Amino acid sequence: RQKLFNRLQVILQHLKMSKHTDSTAEVLLEKRGGAGIITLNRPKALNALNLSMIQQIYPQIKTWEQDPETFLIIIKGTGGKAFCAGGDIRAITDAGKVGDRLAQDFFREEYILNNAIGTCKKPYVALIDGITMGGGVGLSVHGHFRVATEKTLFAMPETTIGLFPDVGGGYFLPRLSGKLGYYLALTGFRLKGRDVLKAGIATHFVESEKLPALESDLIALKSPSTENIADLLNSYHVKSKVDQEKEFVLDEHMEKINSLFSANTMEEIVKKLKQDGSPFAIKQLETINKMSPTSLKMTLRQLREGASMSLQDVLTMEYRLSQACMRGHDFYEGVRAVLIDKDQSPRWKPAALEEVSDEVVDDCFKPLGNNDLKL
**Residues tagged active-site:** 87, 135, 158, 166
CA atoms in the 13 A half-sphere facing the CB of 157 = 22
> What is the DSSP track for 180-194?
HHHHHHHH---EETH
Query: Beta 204-205 vs 131-133: how paired, if at all?
Result: unpaired
Beta-bridge partners for 37: 30, 74
The conformation of residue 81, written as its DSSP 8-state character, comes to: S
Report yes or no: 122 and 73 within 8 Å, Cβ to Cβ. Answer: yes
- Distance CA(127)–CA(173), nearest Å, equals 20
Of residues 151, 161, 163, the one with CA closest to residue 190: 151
Q: In a 3-state reduction of DSSP, which class is residue 135?
A: helix
Peptide bond into 350 cis (omega under 30): yes
